[in-house]
Amino acid sequence: MSKITLPSSFHMDDKIILITGAGDGIGKAVALACGKAGATVILLGKTVQKLELVYDEIIRLGGPEPAIYPMNFEGASADDYQELQTNIDKAFGRLDALFNNAGWLGASSPIELYDVELWYKVMQVNLNAPFMLSKACIPLLKKSESACIVFNTDNKQTAYWGAYSVAKAGAANLMGLLSKELESRHIPVNAFDPVAVRTNFRTRAFPGEDPSQLPVPDEVAKYYVTLLSGDIEQTGQVFVAEDFAG
């Protein structure tokens, strides 16, 4: 597979991009980068105060006014996703890109001891939510002249990752299925695996790790923005940083 060239600058004027988990970490960094590049960003997350700070920062950077959409995936129902679709359609008439970014670690535990209720909650956030959100957004993406879906993936196929590992593997498979189903509509569906980034999520997962040795979210945002630009022909791929040049 040939490498993807990173553009020297991003131009996303008039694009409507929905980003989940937009209040912190990678989601925040990508939202800021997209807003700075001219996209109208729909900031989706469960903590309104965090989303408001991202909103203010995008305005400070000179980006278009974002939209804030509070939503807690843990308790969201199918009706909530349908309402989201309706609201986006009314406000914007289409969607140009969806970034399935939000995730929740849950707990590190052997399967034998894993709490069943926690298992359901982790699966709800990491797998059911991307499914229901993608399903709700596909009609909106079909209204765009250049649409795409990007997943934030994480390969954790080792012991004690529990529901998080299973959900992330399922989400990667969901990405592959969607890429095949939407290929005829020229809607690329890809994923990016950041491997290790200095985020609060990473610190909770690896509390003994020295975070100063890891890249910050701003450093990896360029890879996601490149995929969200809608200019990528590849589909059904899980990319890493080494797949990009420039």
55 noted as active-site residue: no
DSSP state of 9: S
56 close to 108: Cβ distance less than 8 angstroms: no
Using the structure block, give the residue that is written with the tokens 């100063």: 212
Catalytic residue, from 69, 164, 223, 224: name it: 164
Phi, psi for residue 123 in degrees, rounded to 5 = -65, -35
44 close to 18: Cβ distance less than 8 angstroms: yes
> What span, in angstroms and rounded, lies between the C-alpha atoms of 144 and 88?
13
End-to-end CA distance of the chain: 16
Catalytic residues: 164
